[in-house]
Structure 1
């Protein structure tokens, strides 16, 4: 669903400019003197809030509520954010040019600024969506089981490289709800994970020995995810969804402390001195959910706390940076960049340099982790429209790819996610995720747009994913995309009450994002090919197809104008995701 919001307080033009500073408020970028700066997302939000209330005193409490919302934070968080803004802009509290401190009360933005349609700096004019507030979104039902995958290494007489296979698979947890984000302890004897068995997500640890103990580590009800062990196995760092922060707690339970007031996917460095994390929070826990969305970037913070520093910059590479993991020598980090229709695996040195692409052009890709010897990167992915596989990519000590990815094992109907490898390289833990996805409808008032009745389920089968429902112009039909586990998606049609399902496409392509031409006699839908994306027009009567336009890049979520003369769609051509139109 796309929702347009008319907010008179927000100018339509995306850029703010004052002095030699240019701010792209949509993609969370800021330049000074043509140089791209790094600001934590919270500091960026504070700066935007002050600019948009320019000239008046903004009380501390108003700032805290406007930026942090319902999360509990102290004035110290605000003070740190303002300090970071001043340091980045070259401002000072004693002789302010931009932000004036009103002692014991708040702050005032005192510089004159203007909104401009184009930046006067080497900035991009592409507009990305603003960072999302945290929410867990499951399509319908996700059943998770953390399991341990025991690996064996063998050597072929005719091959110079080692092959990896699966010796056995063992299920570790049996909760009927959600057990996810497993992380093996450094000694391989425990697994930490997140579970909703108490009504909210909490961190648990479990011994892997038969009859081993299971201990609930957190009990605060703050939707805690993504545990990661310290190298000595004594502490666990995790993401607090309720507070949108990074916290550390004793591995067997105790008092938690916050070390960063934003971010998710924390990972302890091999020497225990640093914690790496992504700025984007968790917005979706579905099996095929992206690990990050633009403009997510990678950050580092001392494991004892302190000021986080940016490791990557938005747009380099394009997409949202996330799903990170350390190399065992602590010199590099592997991560995934998620863009529309384009997912790639990269490595970067811990000082932010030597950015290298390792695996390009994944259809879907998740959770890269390094082998203990640092010679391979394991990841979950679909390189072609097919079943998910566990893959292995050989890499050099400098993070360069050596050869092509090699399949290790298929994941079956359940998608393998959140992989973790034991210190001896013999075990791999993961979440086995399956999902039931169905379409629902709800009646709304024409006058107010509010719901006037309960939701009604339209479909009830076990296919893997149903997406992009679109009502026909007369409201009597619904077109949607449907995919079975291990298969590509096709376009289907049902009556508005869910009856009379009809499969409209059944070829080897991936067909998605259906929409209607005026009159309701034909459908448009997107499909991928080697050259990019193509929109096809399908006649409902004779099933004849013809190409409407071809786009030499990935395109998705197309919609046809009411007069049938223009098409609007999403594409990442030229950089971040934008909305494009074609005639």
Structure 2
């Protein structure tokens, strides 16, 4: 199927735009996390057929080891968004110990960019009308008439060329006069539009996903804070984590998970945007941390009290799973810490 055709899929009250990666229910957007949408798309593309769990996990998390519970969680969230029931499924049927099957009828809708000829070539053999047109004999045109048409065409082309040249000179003269009138002044810049995303005044930590589709922020009282994620396209807010103390927020480069520091003593965690149980990565970070662009390394500071009662701060780097700690820099200083931690490209380390 050509790229411009068949990217609109419909089943019951739902419509999917595979190009825009949007799910609509009777024209209203349905909020889905990226991996949940990809799960739905994988099932619909194979509707009526069993999609094995291994096949789904390989598509959703290529070259990455994840537990099967992540796939189960995706299916639960998808059923919740579709209003489906695992015991009496309308859309997603569980095939025990094997996988899942999309059982609802799926219809492919033609987009406005699809031509009738393209759809005919993709959906089946040519119609009788197409075969009739293609088999119609050609009409022979007399030679004298052909010469007359050729001469007429040359005259039309010449007139069009003269008109085009005149038009370009006129536009050039008009542009020069406008440049003189402005006297070197540039057009005023448009004013920036500021839009408030939260209104509680309790958001001390905020992060924006790399693709600009999500905003994570903290909200709550001093005794209990929550990490909320807002999907900007649908303006929906979901709380994914609650804790008594939160020290920072950073999106993973993939935009599918969130890093944060919480607790006393503190620890660095990673949690999926779908929610679930956070995974502990690093113990006792001082609070400031940064994730490398490829997500493979985490830089952070750690504070200890030495035998002399002085505070020692260390700048460390670890792998994404918290292992292979590497000491980069140490500082013995009273009641201060590193202001910022960053992970630059290899070979370009900078302490700030």
| TM-score, normalisation: structure 2 | 0.37
| TM-score, normalisation: structure 1 | 0.23
- Greater strand share, structure number: 1
- Greater helix share, structure number: 2
